[in-house]
Structure 1
Amino acid sequence: MTDRQPTAEAMAAAEYRKSSYSGANGNECVEVARLGRQWACVRDSKVTGGPVLATPAAAFGHLLDALKGDRL
C-alpha cells in the first residue's frame, strides 16, 4: 500500500471482522479491516455495502488504546 487513500474497490474487497464485544445477535456493531500496514477501514455491520471510513492505522490504534484505557 502507499500513503494514498485506498480505493472503494480495495475497501469493499477487504476482509472485515466484527468486534468480540458485539451483542449476542451480532447486529449492533462495526466491522474493521486492515489494508496493508497503513490503513484501517471501518463499516457498519448491518450495511456492508454502505460507506466505509478509512483512517490511518496508527490513528485507529491510538483510538483503540484510548478506548481500552477508558480515556475517552
Structure 2
Amino acid sequence: MKNMKKNKEIQIRMEEKKRILQGQEYEVTELYIGKKKIGEILAYGVKDFQAFMDDEAIGSNKTFELAVEAIIRQWNLHE
C-alpha cells in the first residue's frame, strides 16, 4: 500500500479593507494563513470578484466563494 498524504486542516483568516484604485473606493478582502497573506479579493461588482496573489491577477469569479477557492487552489499548487 502506498503512503498517502493526510489532508491538514488550514485556518484561513479574512480581513476587510477599503482601497482606492483609480480614484474609486473598493472593498478588498485579504486572506491570511497564519501571519502570511496568501491573496486578496477585490469586489468590483455584484458578480465580479477579482482574485489576486502577490499583486498578480489570477482571475475573475462570479461569487466571493469561488474567488476564495481560486486563491486556495493556487496557494496549494505553490506550497
**TM-score, structure 2 normalization:** 0.34
Bigger relative contact order, structure 1 or 2, given CA contacts below 8 A and separation 6+? Answer: 1
The structure where helix makes up a greater share of residues is 1
The structure where strand makes up a greater share of residues is 2
